[in-house]
Amino acid sequence: MLFKVCMTVCLPHTMSPAEADELKSAERAIAHELQRRGTWRHLWRVAGRYANVSIFDVAGPAELHEVLLTLPLFPYMQIEVEALCRHPSSIHEDDR
């Protein structure tokens, strides 16, 4: 099942640069692994914001929730989720 996930990161101003860098590095490693596995199918930065729009491919909402909980930046994110389904006019065979 595909989900569009919009994530906006809001790090506290009181967080040290070293702690922020550590969280970002850990987040990057997990994001790369999830992309390699095909769980995090697409990842786009939103220009001018500390935010992204992503497409996740998971079994359902419960799995998506579990995946998002593994992200080191999760406690600092505002997240919006929308379930997606294949459009009948799509010409791409790998749409689900």
Rounded to two decimals, the pTM is 0.91
Supply the pLDDT for residue 58. 97
Q: Look at residue 78 in the predicted model and tell me its pLDDT.
A: 98
Per-residue pLDDT tens over the stretch 31-57: 999 999 999 999 999 999 999 999 999
Question: Tokens in use for 12?
Answer: 């506290």
Q: Which residues pair with 49 in a beta bridge?
A: none
Strand partners, 53: 6, 44
Q: Please name each of the domains of the chain with its CATH number.
A: 2-84 (3.30.70.1060)
Range 72-85 average pLDDT:
97
Q: What is the pLDDT of residue 68?
A: 98
How confident is the model over 55-80, as a mean pLDDT?
Answer: 98
